């Protein structure tokens, strides 16, 4: 993704546009994401998706699906790999249908 993508995101009214999605879609989100609020993803799925969205929750995962930081500011890399593998497997099941 580049800056043009993020600039365009700022011009969108996500709450208005999200319900216009005609196809099923999936949202993958960590519960302690400091960049994008987990509660926002829950709200979009529950209120704006017309029943076409699935929310996959990753407990104690930050942005990028890494785990919480330790006292030194580091995350356990195995949590990231496990979460990424789970996301990959879920996406494969979705596209196989």
Query: How does pLDDT run across 11-24, given as a tens digit for each residue?
Result: 988 888 888 888 88
> Which two three-digit tokens encode residue 92?
């494969």
Render pLDDT for 18-74 as a digit per residue (tens, 0 to 9). 888 888 899 999 999 999 999 999 998 999 888 889 999 999 999 999 999 999 999
pLDDT at 86 (0 to 100): 97
Task: Let me know: does 63 contact 30? Beta carbons within 8 Å.
Answer: yes
In angstroms, the Cα distances linking 39 to 32, 34, 44 are 10, 11, 9
pLDDT at 60 (0 to 100): 94
Q: The pTM is what?
A: 0.83
Give start and end residues of each alpha helix (H) in 18-97.
38-43, 77-96
Q: How many residues does the chain have?
A: 97
Report residue 10's pLDDT band, with 50, 70 and 90 as the boundaries: confident
């Amino acid at each position: 993704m580049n800056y043009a993508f993020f600039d365009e995101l700022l011009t969108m009214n996500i709450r208005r546009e999200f319900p216009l999605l005609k196809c099923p879609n999936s949202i993958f989100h960590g519960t302690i994401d400091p960049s994008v609020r987990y509660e926002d993803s829950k709200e979009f799925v529950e209120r704006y998706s017309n029943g076409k969205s699935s929310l996959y929750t990753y407990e104690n995962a930050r942005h990028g699906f890494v785990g919480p930081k330790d006292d030194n500011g580091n995350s356990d890399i195995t949590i990231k790999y496990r979460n990424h593998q789970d996301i990959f497997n879920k996406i494969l099941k979705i596209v196989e249908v």
